[in-house]
Amino acid sequence: MAARRSGSRLEGEIERCRGENQWERIPELVKQLVAKPLQLDDLSELLLGEAKLQQYLKENPIKQGSSPRGQRPRLAEVRKHLTAALERGNLKPDYQQEATLLMGKLCYVEGDYREALNHYSRVNLDEMQLVGAPVYRLSMIAEAYATRGLCLEKLPAASPSLSSRPADRDQEILTCYEKSGDIALLYLQEVEKALSAGLQNRSPKPGPVSQDQELGYFLETGLQRAHVIHFKNGNLTRGVGRFREILRAVETRTTQNLRMTIARQLAEILLRGMCEQSYWSPLEDPPPQSPLDDPHCPTRSSRDYALSRRPRVYSGEKYDANRDAVLSRIPEHNADRVISLQSASVVYDLLTIALGRRGQYEMLSECLERAMKFAFEEFHLWYQLALSLMAAGKSARAVKVLKECIRLKPDDATIPLLAVKLCIGNLHWLEEGERFAKMVVDMEDKAPEFRAKGHLALGLVYSLKATDASLRGLQEEYQRKALGAFQRAQSLSPTDHLAAFYLALQLAVSRQIPEALGYVRQALQLQGDDVHSLHLLALLLSAQKHYHDALNIIEMALSEYPENFMLLFTKVKLETLCRGPEEALLTCKHMLQIWKSCYNLTNPSDSGRGSSLLDRAIADRRQLNTMTLPDFSDPETGTVSTHTVRDSRIRSVCSTGLRGSFLISDLFRPAGHAFCDHFPRRRPSTASNTLCMVCSVHATSIAASRVEQALSEVASSLQSSAPKQGPLHPWMTLAQIWLHAAEVYIGMLKPAEALACTLEAASLFPLSHNVLFMKGQVAELRGNTEEAKRWYEEALSISPTHVKSMQRLGLILHQLQRYSLAEKVLRDAVQVSSTAHSVWNSLGEVLQAQGNHAAATECFLTALELEASSPVLPFTVIPRTL
C-alpha cells in the first residue's frame, strides 16, 4: 500500500490534500515524506502543525459571535510544530509565509489578538501572489484576511499597529473582510475547477471531496462580515453592493448555500429597507451617498428593472429552497426538518410580501403550491396557500385547503368564515357553507364580533337556500331560520351595518316591508354610503309605490356610485314608471357610455401568464358564440358574422332614432372590446345574480350551466383588483344594458328598435334565456304568437325555471285556449316563485277561463296582495355575499 512515490508526486498529493481539506491524511503522507532524504523537516513540521490546527478547528468549531477560548493542550502541540518550523528559518519563502500565517491563526484561536496581528504584520498580505497559487494557499490568505479583520475588531481602538482615527480603522477592517471575501470566492472557484479537472483525470470519487467543502469559521466570516458591518453602520448602499458582488461571482457548488443565504438577505433588505425610489439597478453605479438622504432619482427604466429584481432574487431562492426540502418525517430528522422548514417559510413569506403588494396572487398561489412539500401539519403554509388561492380566485381548491387549515387549527373563527364566504359567493355550495357557518357559531368562546359574523354567515346560507328551494314549506322554513340568524347577528354586534342590512333584506324578501324599512334605515345610520343599503331602500320605497322617493334615493346613491350598473338598472325601471320611457332611454344611453369608459381602457400588459386578458375574453366569447343548441336557428345571425350584425344593428338603431342620436357606433370601434382589469371581485356564478337579474332563478339545465361555467372560467382567470361594485362580468353588463333598452322599447310599443337592442344582446350571449325571452316579447308585440311561443319555449329549455317566460308562455297558451297546459305551466311558475304577482294573476285568468271561479278568486286575491308589496325589481337582485 505504502508504495514509494517520487518526491514531486508526494508533494502533489500533499498539496491536493491541503486543497481538499483532507487533514487526516497529512500525518501519514508526512511520514512518507520524512523518510525521504530531502531537507524537508521544517516543511513537515509546518504541515503537521497545520494539519493539527485544522483538525482541532474541525472538531471544535468556533461559533459565530463567541470568542475563541484560551490555550488548549492540543494547540500547544500545534504551536510547537509551527515554532519549530519557523525558528530554523530554512524554509522556502513561500512556506515561511504560510507558517507565519498559520501562527497568526493559531494566536487568534488562542485568543491572543495582538500577537496574531504582529504575525500578520510580518507578512505583506497584499503582495501575496494569487494567480497560479495553489488552491490551499488561497484559502489560507482568505482566512488570514478574515482573521486579521477579526483581530482588529476585537482589539481596542488605540492599537499601536493602527492609525489612531477610528474611521480609518473601520475602513481597514472592512477592507480586510472584503478582500477575504473576494479571495474566498476565488478559492472556492478554484477548488471547483480543480475538482472538475479531477473528475476527468484523477479522482473518480467526488463524493468525499465535495462533502468536505464546508466553509470554516474564518471563511464564512470573511464572506459575510463585511456586509454585516455595512448594515450595522446603516450603509445600505454599500451593503447591497457587497451582496450583489458576492451574488455575481460565478456560482460554484460550495457557494450555493452561501448564495441562498445572501440572496435571502438581499431580498429582506430590499423589501424592508428600500423602496422603488431608492432602488438602483445592479447594472448602474450605486448612488454616491447613502440612499437614505440621497436625491438620486432613478430613471423610469431602472425603476422597472428594480421591480423586476425583487422577484428574481426570490425565484432563485425558490428553487434552492425546494431543493433542500427535507421530506422525511422520521423523528430523527425532525431537527433538520425544522431548519429547512424555517428557511423555506422565510423565503415564501418574503415572496408573499413582494408579490402580494403587487397583486400577483395567481403567481403566488402557484409558488406556494410548490411549498406544500414542506407543509405537512404546518398551519402557516397551509393557511397562506388557502389565502393565496382565494385571492387568485381559485375558490374550489381554496375551500379544500381551508378544510385542512380548520383541521390544523380548529379554534380560529376566521378560517371557516373564509370558507363560508367562498361557498356562498362563487361556488354556491350551500350545504358546505352551512356546515362551516355552524362551526363558527358553535365556537362559543369567541369575541362577539366573530360570533356575529358567524350568525350572519349562517343567515346568508339559509337565505340563499330559501331562494333556491322549490317547495313552499322548505322555503318558509329557511326564511324563518335566516331571519333568526340575522337577528342573532344583529343583537351580537349592533354596530354592524351588514347585520341590519341583511335583516332588512330578508324581511323585504318575505314582504314585511315596514319592518324592513326600519332596519334598512338603521343600517344606513351605521354606514351612510353603503350602496346595497341605499339600493334596498329604493326598492322598498318602490314596493310601497313611492316611486318618486325611490328615484330620488337612487339618484342620490348614483351621485356616490356613478358607475354602479345595478343602481342604473333600477333607475331605468323607475324612470319608465314615473318619468316616461324617454328618460329611461337616456339612462340606457348613459349606461352605454359608462360601460365604455369603464371597460374600454386597454390593458397593455399580459396579466398573469401568457395571453392577454383581452385575448382570453374574446376567445371565450367566441366559444360562447359557437356554442349553439341544435334547435337554435336565427337565419340572420347564423349567416352573418357577429360584427357585421352589430354594425347593421347599430345603423338600424341609429336610423330608427333612439330619441336623439344614439352614437354607439364609436363604442365598438376596435374590433375587440378592449377592457381593463375592472372585474368583479364577487364573481357571480349562478344565474340568479348574473344573467337573469330580473328573476331569481338557478339554472338547472346543462346548457345554462355550461354557459355559466364558461363565464365563470373567464371571470376566475381575471385579477381580483376590481371595484367592489358592479359584480357583473362586463359582457353580461353590456348585454343587460341592451336588454333593458329593449324592454323600454317594448313598453313604448316599438318592436323594431326593441328587436335591434335584443339582437345586440344576442350577439354577445345568443344562448341567454333572457335574450330569448326578450325575442319572444318582441314577437308578441308584433302579434306573432306562434313565434313568441317558440322563443319562450326555447328560453325555458335553457333555463326551465325562468318565471317570466313561464308566465308569458302560460298566457299565450291561454290565448290559444289550451287551458290545462297553461294552468300546468303557471302552477309550475308559482311553485318556483311564490311572490310573483303577475303569475298569480295569469293563473287566475286561466282558472277563470276554465270555469274554476273559486280558485280563480283565490289567485286574484293573492295577486292583489302581492302586488301591493312588489318592488320594481325583485329584492334578490341585491347580492348576498359575506
Partner 1 sequence: MLAMDQGVVEEWLSEFKTLPETAISSYASSLKEKGSLVPALYKVIRENYSDLLEPVCHQLFEFYRSGEPRLQRFTLQFLPELVWSYLSVSAGRDPHCSGCIEALLLGIYNLEIVDKDGQSRVLSFTVPSLSKPSVYHEPSAIGSMALTEGALANHGLSRVVYSGPHLQRETFTAQNRFEVLTFLLLCYNAALSYMTSSSLQSLCRLSSRVSICGYPRQQVRRYKGINSRMMVTSEFLVQLITGIHFALCNGESELGSKALDDVLYRAQLELYPEALLVGNAIKSSLCGAALKSNKEGTRSIQVEITPTSSRISRNAVTSLSIRGHRWKRHDAVDLGSPDELMEISEVDEGICTQPSAQGGSPPTIVVSNATTAVSGKLMGKGLRRLGGSRSSKEKEKEKEGGADQPSRKQSGNRAMSENLELLSLKRLTLTSSQSVPKAGTLSLSRTASAVFSRSFEQVSNALAAAAGAQQQPVPSNPVASPTPNHHHFSRENRYSACSLQEEHLSPIQHHQQQQRSPSISLHLAPDV
User: Does 272 sit near partner 1 (CB under 8 A)?
Assistant: yes
User: Does 150 sit near partner 1 (CB under 8 A)?
Assistant: no
User: Does 288 sit near partner 1 (CB under 8 A)?
Assistant: no
Closest C-alpha to 726, from 598, 592, 615, 537:
598
x-marked contacts with partner 1 along 541-560 as a string, rule CB under 8 A: ------------------xx
CB 62 within 8 A of CB 68: yes
User: Does 437 sit near partner 1 (CB under 8 A)?
Assistant: no
User: Does 248 sit near partner 1 (CB under 8 A)?
Assistant: yes
> In the complex with partner 1, which residue's Cβ is closer, 673 or 814?
673
> What Rg, from alpha-carbon coordinates, does the chain have?
39
User: Does 868 sit near partner 1 (CB under 8 A)?
Assistant: no
CB 317 within 8 A of CB 368: no
> In the complex with partner 1, which residue's Cβ is closer, 385 or 798?
385
> In the complex with partner 1, which residue's Cβ is closer, 54 or 345?
345
- Looking at residues 737 to 796 of the shown chain, list those that interact with partner 1 (rule: CB under 8 A): none
| Among the listed residues 111, 134, 241, 359, the single contact to partner 1 using CB under 8 A | 359
Nearest distance from C-beta of residue 50 to partner 1, angstroms: 17
User: Does 277 sit near partner 1 (CB under 8 A)?
Assistant: yes
- Which grid coordinates are listed for 116? 496574531
> In the complex with partner 1, which residue's Cβ is closer, 287 or 800?
287
- Which grid coordinates are listed for 681? 371581485
User: Does 239 sit near partner 1 (CB under 8 A)?
Assistant: yes
User: Does 797 sit near partner 1 (CB under 8 A)?
Assistant: no
With contacts defined by CB under 8 A, name the span among 129-137, 491-499, 828-836, 869-877 that binds partner 1: 491-499
| Among the listed residues 258, 691, 798, 866, the single contact to partner 1 using CB under 8 A | 258
Using a 10 angstrom Cβ sphere, with 0-12 exposed, 13-18 middle and 19 or more buried, the burial of residue 641 is exposed
- Give, as one character, the DSSP assignment of residue 726: -
CB 761 within 8 A of CB 732: no
- Looking at residues 440 to 479 of the shown chain, list those that interact with partner 1 (rule: CB under 8 A): 447-450, 453
Cα distances (angstroms) measured from residue 438 to each of 468, 505, 518: 20, 21, 28
| Among the listed residues 443, 640, 674, 676, the single contact to partner 1 using CB under 8 A | 676
User: Does 360 sit near partner 1 (CB under 8 A)?
Assistant: yes
Closest C-alpha to 105, from 127, 123, 89, 128:
123
Give CA–CA dist 337/322, Å, rounded.
13
> In the complex with partner 1, which residue's Cβ is closer, 357 or 643?
357
User: Does 715 sit near partner 1 (CB under 8 A)?
Assistant: no
Nearest distance from C-beta of residue 59 to partner 1, angstroms: 10
With contacts defined by CB under 8 A, name the span among 495-503, 700-708, 776-784, 824-832 that binds partner 1: 495-503
> In the complex with partner 1, which residue's Cβ is closer, 36 or 253?
253
User: Does 211 sit near partner 1 (CB under 8 A)?
Assistant: yes
- Looking at residues 384 to 413 of the shown chain, list those that interact with partner 1 (rule: CB under 8 A): 384, 386-388, 390-391
User: Does 603 sit near partner 1 (CB under 8 A)?
Assistant: yes
User: Does 47 sit near partner 1 (CB under 8 A)?
Assistant: no
User: Does 666 sit near partner 1 (CB under 8 A)?
Assistant: no
Give CA–CA dist 303/309, Å, rounded.
10
Which string of DSSP letters, residue by residue, matches 763-780? HH-TT-HHHHHHHHHHHH
CB 654 within 8 A of CB 661: yes
User: Does 4 sit near partner 1 (CB under 8 A)?
Assistant: no
Cα distances (angstroms) measured from residue 501 to each of 98, 406, 761: 83, 29, 33
> In the complex with partner 1, which residue's Cβ is closer, 231 or 668?
231
Give CA–CA dist 668/14, Å, rounded.
81
| Among the listed residues 189, 340, 533, 876, the single contact to partner 1 using CB under 8 A | 340
- Which grid coordinates are listed for 595? 360601460
Give CA–CA dist 367/389, Å, rounded.
11
Give CA–CA dist 310/305, Å, rounded.
9
| Among the listed residues 54, 97, 607, 797, the single contact to partner 1 using CB under 8 A | 607
- Which grid coordinates are listed for 862? 293573492
x-marked contacts with partner 1 along 60-99 as a string, rule CB under 8 A: ----xx----------------------------------
CB 291 within 8 A of CB 270: no
User: Does 364 sit near partner 1 (CB under 8 A)?
Assistant: yes
User: Does 282 sit near partner 1 (CB under 8 A)?
Assistant: yes
> In the complex with partner 1, which residue's Cβ is closer, 414 or 512?
414
Nearest distance from C-beta of residue 487 to partner 1, angstroms: 20
* End-to-end Cα distance, the chain: 80
With contacts defined by CB under 8 A, name the span among 261-269, 482-490, 733-741, 866-874 that binds partner 1: 261-269
Q: Which is it for the CA torsion 410, 412, 414, 415, positive or negative?
A: negative
Give CA–CA dist 858/862, Å, rounded.
6
Task: Please tell me the number of Cα atoms within 13 Å of 128 on its side-chain side.
Answer: 28
Give CA–CA dist 808/772, Å, rounded.
12
